[in-house]
């Protein structure tokens, strides 16, 4: 299996706000790396053998790559919009493929069963038709609607929430979601996934919200509750790697985003964390 | 396990440990199963993987006469056919969506799952009642060494004290573990039940010590 296509991508490797001179020992695609703050206060990422790796600091996180990224890190225009609150949620380690973690984030049909009474509740289980397309070589799902008992920390009752999903990089997804206090805007919730190995990842959610009232602690607790519920699923899927062979799992109309994501991965040879042939 | 020409039976659980409306994982040499009992009390075993997104069905939930996957709520009948896909309530799931099922038999307080197509029924354990199950981090061989006995088709008969023998049914699990079902005579006194339970734990610890030292065959 070749991993070249994914080697040259950018990956999150830590929160910039938490860096110190001592550094943080972690891994990227099986290679040990060290993420630290240098004497000038800049982020510095080095491989185990001391080789310096490329670095970007954006969206609260430090980004790096084992290869030579040809593209700039994807843009999130809302990250520069005045009035938003930017929330570093922290990290959740999950014993699963980084690609499975992203696919789960793109899925709404599990809300009533996994995030019961928060992001979904029976009998409101139906997934209405939505649109999926490739825009500028990113996977986009739009007009996604779902009934939610408590869509956000700032929501006080059940509402039908509208979502848009965007996959700009193989292990990153951006969610745009109805913003209860400001109906003309979208709240932005991202999933940045650091592939530690093909079957192990650190998930770094990040948010850009219009919410001036909820405490930071409550915002973080809300997201951590959601991601811990997801972890109970992700660590119990078989196989651990994401199957790209269409015969291995059975999608329905509700899974069109996942189908488009898998095809897009396959087309780009983004196969680190994927299983190509049924076993 | 009781091999015959076409298949075998694995004792997977005590009846008392699978109440109506619950599901649990059950391992046989053919792999992991979701073992469940419907609200009306009927047992069933299916492959432990929902064909939709690969989630373990043993993490699911039972409602009525169906087992549902915890991930997206897809539900399956005892025969393995998919009954409902909650994301599409108006859709009748096609026959092709199903989980593989295994035969389940329940007798004398034990639940047995078939591997293959055994011609005979599971063995009867007349005069015995199940006491409890426990999992040892030790192989069947280590348990046999610790017990000084070889497991026959009906388990190990083991002397707990001068006047008392018990029966141990052993079912090999993943990762060199073994599930032990402890049975004893149906007229046993409370003191004998306690002695049997403690003896089984002593045996487990002895086998685990052998395994940890690498002495077990």
Our separate counts of H helices and E strands in chain A read 5, 17
For chain B, give the mean pLDDT: 94
Domain ranges of chain A: 1-73, 81-275
Q: Where are the alpha helices (DSSP H) in chain A?
A: 4-7, 98-105, 111-114, 216-234, 256-267
- How far is A125 from B207, CA to CA, in rounded Å? 49
Domain ranges of chain B: 7-116, 128-213
For the segment A2-22, the average pLDDT, to the nearest whole number, is 90
Query: Is the CB of B94 inside 8 Å of chain A's CB atoms?
Result: no
For the segment A114-122, the average pLDDT, to the nearest whole number, is 95
pLDDT reading at B1 higher than 60? no
Scanning every residue of chain A, which has its alpha carbon at the shortest distance from the alpha carbon of B71?
A110
Interface contact A126-B52, CB threshold 8 A: no
Which is more confidently placed, A151 or A92? Answer: A92
Scanning every residue of chain B, which has its alpha carbon at the shortest distance from the alpha carbon of A100?
B53
Indicate the pLDDT class of residue A1, thresholds 50, 70 and 90.
very low
Query: Is the CB of A127 inside 8 Å of chain B's CB atoms?
Result: yes
Of A232, A248, A252, the CB nearest to B88: A252
For the segment B76-81, the average pLDDT, to the nearest whole number, is 98
Strand order in the sheet with A11-15: A11-15, A61-64, A55-58
Min Cα separation B68/chain A (Å): 10
- How far is B67 from B21, CA to CA, in rounded Å? 9
Reported CATH class of domain A81-275: alpha beta
Please determine, looking at this structure, whether the domain spanning B7-116 carries the CATH number 2.40.10.220: no
For chain A, give the mean pLDDT: 94
Query: Is the CB of B51 inside 8 Å of chain A's CB atoms?
Result: yes
ipTM value greater than 0.90: yes
Task: Tell me which CATH code domain A1-73 carries.
Answer: 2.20.25.680
Q: Give the tokens for residue A76.
A: 């999130």
pTM over 0.90: yes
Short-list A46, A75, A44, A35, CA closest to A58 = A75
DSSP string, B88-101: STTPPPPTT-B--E
CATH topology of domain B128-213: Alpha-Beta Plaits (3.30.70)
Q: Which residues in chain B touch residue A243, judged by CB atoms under 8 angstroms apart?
A: 54
Rounded to a whole number of angstroms, the distance between the first and last alpha carbons of chain B is 19
Tens digits of per-residue pLDDT, B110-162? Answer: 999 999 999 999 999 989 999 999 999 999 999 999 999 998 878 899 988 88
Of A110, A239, A253, the CB nearest to B88: A253
Tens digits of per-residue pLDDT, B180-206? Answer: 999 999 999 999 999 999 999 999 999
For the segment A183-190, the average pLDDT, to the nearest whole number, is 95
């Amino acid at each position: 299996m070749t991993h070249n296509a994914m080697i040259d991508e950018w990956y999150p490797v830590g929160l910039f706000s938490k860096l110190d001179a001592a550094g943080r020992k972690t891994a990227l695609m099986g290679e040990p790396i060290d993420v630290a703050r240098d004497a000038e206060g800049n982020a510095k990422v080095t491989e185990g053998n001391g080789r310096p790796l490329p670095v970007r600091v954006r969206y609260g996180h430090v980004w790096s790559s084992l290869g030579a990224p040809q593209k700039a890190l994807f843009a999130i225009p809302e990250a520069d919009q005045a009035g938003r609150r930017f929330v570093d949620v922290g990290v959740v380690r999950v014993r699963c493929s980084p690609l499975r973690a992203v696919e789960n984030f793109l899925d709404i049909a599990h809300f009533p069963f996994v995030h019961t009474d928060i992001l979904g509740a029976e009998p409101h289980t139906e997934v209405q038709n939505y649109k999926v397309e490739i825009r500028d070589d990113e996977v986009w799902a739009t007009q996604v609607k779902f009934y939610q008992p408590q869509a956000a920390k700032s929501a006080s009752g059940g509402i039908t929430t509208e979502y848009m999903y965007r996959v700009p990089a193989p292990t990153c997804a951006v969610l745009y979601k109805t913003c209860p206090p400001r109906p003309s805007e979208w709240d932005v919730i991202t999933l940045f996934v650091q592939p530690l190995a093909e079957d192990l990842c650190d998930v770094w959610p990040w948010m850009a919200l219009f919410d001036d009232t909820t405490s930071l602690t409550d915002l973080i607790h809300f997201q951590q509750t959601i991601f811990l519920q997801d972890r109970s699923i992700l660590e119990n899927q078989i196989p651990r790697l994401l199957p790209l062979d269409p015969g291995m799992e059975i999608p329905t109309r509700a899974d069109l985003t996942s189908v488009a994501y898998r095809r897009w991965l396959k087309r780009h040879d983004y196969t680190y964390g994927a299983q190509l042939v049924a076993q | 396990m009781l091999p015959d020409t076409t298949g075998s039976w694995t004792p997977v659980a005590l009846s008392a440990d699978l109440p109506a409306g619950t599901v649990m994982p059950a391992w046989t040499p053919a792999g992991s199963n979701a073992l469940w009992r419907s609200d009306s009390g009927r047992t069933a075993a299916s492959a432990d993987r929902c064909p939709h997104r690969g989630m373990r069905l043993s993490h699911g939930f039972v409602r009525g006469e169906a087992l549902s996957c915890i991930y997206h709520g897809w539900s399956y009948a005892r025969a393995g056919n998919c009954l409902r896909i909650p994301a599409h309530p108006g859709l009748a799931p096609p026959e092709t969506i199903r989980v593989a099922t295994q035969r389940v038999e329940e007798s004398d307080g034990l639940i047995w799952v078939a591997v293959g197509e055994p011609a005979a029924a599971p063995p009867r354990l007349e005069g015995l009642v199940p006491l409890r199950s426990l999992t040892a981090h030790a192989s069947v061989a280590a348990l046999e060494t610790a017990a000084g006995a070889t497991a026959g088709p009906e388990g190990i008969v083991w002397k707990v004290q001068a006047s008392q023998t018990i029966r141990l049914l052993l079912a090999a699990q993943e990762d060199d573990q073994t599930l032990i079902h402890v049975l004893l005579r149906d007229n046993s006194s409370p003191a004998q039940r306690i002695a049997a339970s403690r003896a089984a734990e002593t045996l487990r610890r002895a086998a685990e010590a052998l395994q940890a030292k690498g002495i077990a065959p």
